Amino acid sequence: MTDQFRPRDIYEMGEFFEDLLFMRTNKFSDEEAGANSKVVALSATGSQLLGRLGITGRIFRRWYQTTWGWDNPSQWFAGETPRMELCKRYPDLTNGDVYASTQLLQSAPDEIKVMPVLYEKKEIKDAKGIITMGFNFLPKTLEARSRFHQLSAPSFDPGFKEFANNIEAIEREVAKEKLEKLPIAFEARCWRVFWSDACITIPLNCGLKLSHNDLITIGSAMQLIVERAVKEQASIPASYINFDSLFSAIWEVFCSFDSALLPLELLRIGRGKSMSVLTSKAKGPYSLNVYYNLGNLFDELLLFPADRYFGACECVWTDKENFLNDLVTSFLLLNNDLQLPTVNNKLTKAQKLFRHATAIEERSLDIYRIWFCPPTCFRILPKFVKYFW
């Protein structure tokens, strides 16, 4: 993705992603294909299962926002993502006025194709937003929705129907209890409900052993921290929010309520610390569990919906190896009816303790959740910054 090349359009980018998904490795460099990809690829049954599950868009989201390119368009990280390359062809993608998506289609009995879709500025404006387009795709009643099994455009994500039902349920509760006056505009109302609910739901599901009231207080504090970071990001042109810095601030709040949590510097695996050292500590497994949950739930419950359901967020991942490992794990699961083949039953003492004391491995092998992962950086797109004032 250097300046000597013409930036690809959405269809060329879709073809490029399709080649990766079906491991046509002759078209990739060693880094892009990955060392494991030479021995693991989607089988015919695995491809069919991928289509039925509808998670292609989740894989695309990570690939599309990982720094595979060599250009350095930002001072916040090294490398360029396919999304950034597309922004050169579609400048309105930069501020959230254009939205890119993809789905897997059966084009022939034995042929599955990736179909990229680009929603233009006028189309989104006329529909009053990406979230409105998604709701309009769904049947209006819960009974009809329960029988509706299509992937809703424009996100084509299997979780959108549940997300929409949850938004409406919270709206009804707010109205019934007269908790607050929600905005009249549909997008603004959905955003308010989603954002507030996500900030509370994350700490409630992190595995913290605290009272419900403390968890609600933590959620409110976390919301203030994230919103302050967004306002700082919005005040500096072309800036991003560093996830590690944001995570550190939230972890401090967690620790102030829960003295059992280990300091963050002790949990940074890969900086001279082994898993065995952490699992041997009295509160090591507990802290690791909360640590993992916070990072992944932040993406699953906050960044992912903001990105895919609203078109409001850009994420950047710089860990290419992590993407490729998740891709290989996904292929193994899809090829084996969602069961990971056992390669070695001989676990070390530390590995057995880790499995027993945490639920991390189980969640990391959930095909629906494997593609949720904390990014290196993220930003709220200019079009949506208005919701933070």
Domain with 230, as residue range(s), is 10-388
Domain contains 342: yes
User: How many separate helices (H) and strands (E) can be counted in the chain?
Assistant: 19, 5
DSSP structural state of residue 107: E
User: For position 314, what pLDDT does the model report?
Assistant: 98
**pTM for this one?**
0.92
User: For position 363, what pLDDT does the model report?
Assistant: 80
Domain contains 193: yes
Q: What is the mean pLDDT of residues 225-239?
A: 95
pLDDT band, residue 387 (cuts 50/70/90): very high
pLDDT at 39 over 50: yes
Domain contains 326: yes
Q: Is 36 strand, coil or helix?
A: helix
Both tokens assigned to 259? 């003295």
Choose the weakest-confidence range: 23-32, 84-93, 209-218.
Answer: 23-32
pLDDT digits (tens, 9 = 90+) for 100-148: 999 999 877 778 899 999 999 999 999 999 999 999 999 999 999 999 9
Domain contains 199: yes
Radius of gyration of the chain (CA): 21
Place of tokens 């509808």: 54
Domain contains 178: yes
Best CA proximity match to 84, nearest among 309, 384, 314, 324 = 314
User: For position 68, what pLDDT does the model report?
Assistant: 95
Choice between 347 and 193, residue whose per-residue pLDDT is larger? 193
pLDDT at 154 over 80: yes
Both tokens assigned to 62? 């990570």
Domain contains 4: no
pLDDT at 350 over 80: no
Number of domains making up the chain? 1
Kindly state the percentage of the chain with pLDDT values over 90.
75
Non-local CB neighbours of 361 within 8 Å, separated by 6+ positions: 354, 355
pLDDT at 360 over 70: yes
pLDDT digits (tens, 9 = 90+) for 165-183: 999 999 999 999 888 899 9
Domain contains 2: no
Domain contains 64: yes
Q: What is the mean pLDDT of residues 181-196?
A: 96
